[in-house]
Structure 1
Amino acid sequence: MRTVIAGGAGQIAQRLERLLRSRGDTPLGLIRSPQKADLVQEAGAEPLVCDLESASVEEVSELLRGADAAVFAAGAGPGSGEARKETVDRAAAELFTDASARAGVRRLLVVSAMGVDGEPPAEADPVFATYLRAKGAADAAVRARTDLDWTILRPGRLTDDPGTGRVELAAHTGRSEVTRDDVAAVLLALLDEPLSVGHTLELVNGDVPVAEAVAAAVR
């Protein structure tokens, strides 16, 4: 399987790239900065340099052409301001979605966040509120697509603890933590599960093995 991952040098993306490579797949990591190519290569993926904040849909679709699946795991990052929440977390996600469809890549996974469907809490930090609105708008745009086999994954608070291979995965889980290792493992399992198409799922640490959790969540 040939899979293009936006945000290819990110922590979840690198973990997913290693998992894909370890089973003989061909992962490709889409990165904004050429300086991060080494990170992608070390994870076993081929780096593709492309700035999703300035690229056209045609340019991105050319990079996606021939892929079997696409994963949007990019983000503006915790140190960015409101403007980049809009240009990356919303606009880049929508661009990547459009480019996937244009390139004929039907299978799309999106890494989103919890709590993005409604209006942010009144007490929320303005930058975080903008982030939630941007993610919510991007998710809504993805869910409106009938020409893509999409799945949206909404992890809880991310940690760097070692993965356990056991999670809770459902339409609604309640807020909790989840390891980045386990997020990557769930993404891999979702890629392989046709019944996950059209589902928006929340993910936290739990007691159910990943394969069983995925199967149960999409029944």
Structure 2
Amino acid sequence: MALKDSLRTAWQTFSRPAAYFSLGFLTLGGFLAGVMFWGGFNTILEATNKEAFCISCHEMQSNPYEEMKQTIHFTNRSGVRATCPDCHVPHNWTDKIARKMQASKEVWGHIFGSIDTREKFVEMRRTLAEHEWARLKANNSLECRNCHSAESMDITKQGARAAQAHERYLFSGQMTCIDCHKGIAHRLPDMTGVAHWQPTEASGQQ
């Protein structure tokens, strides 16, 4: 009897008008509004993960994108092309949101013209590069590993130098991809004065 009374009370509370609308209507409306908000938010989020969005500002299109078009990440024998988000946006949702929050600084820079000329970009190249290298170093080159798996590497098909470096440093966890492949997709800044810097075939030193 007590259970029946409790259920009746709960139903009356759920269906009783709250000012003008029932609690049930408000709950259903809130749920639908939440679904619509989430769908819209996710749609916008994914739209910002397209290469077309990345190069919609001239700073990116005229500088990093033009440089990437000259690299193996853009044109190669396998026909697999990496896009801007592949390397600069994490795939996991929580990491992606964190990256988007960091990117708000880039929007600020675009609005105020931090690198709106080639001269400004070249002057800022070292700072921009080091910021991205530090991010990749901290996450163990996560974006690189989304496409390149150390477990899938067949070092017998690699050059002797690459095979030795991968076996000694990558497989052991002593170093991560970005330690050696800093200039693989974009031109390197002036590395003068960087301790222990040694350009390799894969470094993209120009």
Q: Same fold (TM over 0.5)?
A: no
Which structure has more helix as a fraction of its residues?
2
Q: Which band: TM-score by shorter chain? A: under 0.3
**Which entry has the higher C-alpha Rg, 1 or 2?**
2
TM-score (norm: length of structure 1): 0.27
